[in-house]
Amino acid sequence: MEREHPTELVDRRVEDGLQRGRAVEVVFDGRRIPAFEGETVAAALLAAGTRVLRTTARYAAPRGLYCGMGVCFECVMTVDGRPNVRTCQTQVADGMRIETQKGEGQWTLDIGSKSSPKDAPPAKEPSPTHTSSPPLPPTTKCGCGT
């Protein structure tokens, strides 16, 4: 599958009647992309001509912006080393690193990134030792417990 990166950057933003935030740059798959503060990652990439934001785990099928309101999870990407970030809900920040997510994504540890330890996945708690507990009371067919 060929990646969808236009050879020449074309800005597809509407200009009439809009007030934009400060101009910033994000890095998308190694390329610098212009964006504006207050704009979502998905909107900035869409304006830069990018349609494919991730590929599925099973068939590597391309996926892009679908609902645009954080419900469908089709726009998830790896942002600053953190996978599965909904880009339609995440605002750009200057220097943000965005990567096309392949499959379910994976965590990367980049010592020089802006990510902090609090952004790392939570450590797994040790499972408590098995203790016997009293049996549950019987329930009726409807499951309401009465």
Contacts of 24 (CB under 8 A, 6+ apart): 34, 35, 36, 37, 92, 93, 94, 95
pLDDT above 80 (res 2) = no
Q: Per-residue pLDDT averaged across 83-100, rounded?
A: 96
| pLDDT for 106 | 83
Fold held by 24-109: Ubiquitin-like (UB roll) (3.10.20)
Mean pLDDT of the chain: 80
Q: Per-residue pLDDT averaged across 43-67, rounded?
A: 94
The whole model's pTM is what?
0.64
Listed by start position, the domains of the chain span 24-109
pLDDT above 70 (res 62) = yes
pLDDT above 90 (res 72) = yes
How far, in Å, CA of 60 to CA of 56, rounded? 5
pLDDT above 90 (res 78) = yes
Question: Between the CA atoms of 75, 78, 80 and 82, what dihedral angle is there, to the nearest 10 degrees?
Answer: 110
Banded pLDDT at 12 (limits 50, 70, 90):
low
How far, in Å, CA of 82 to CA of 49, rounded? 23
| pLDDT for 54 | 95
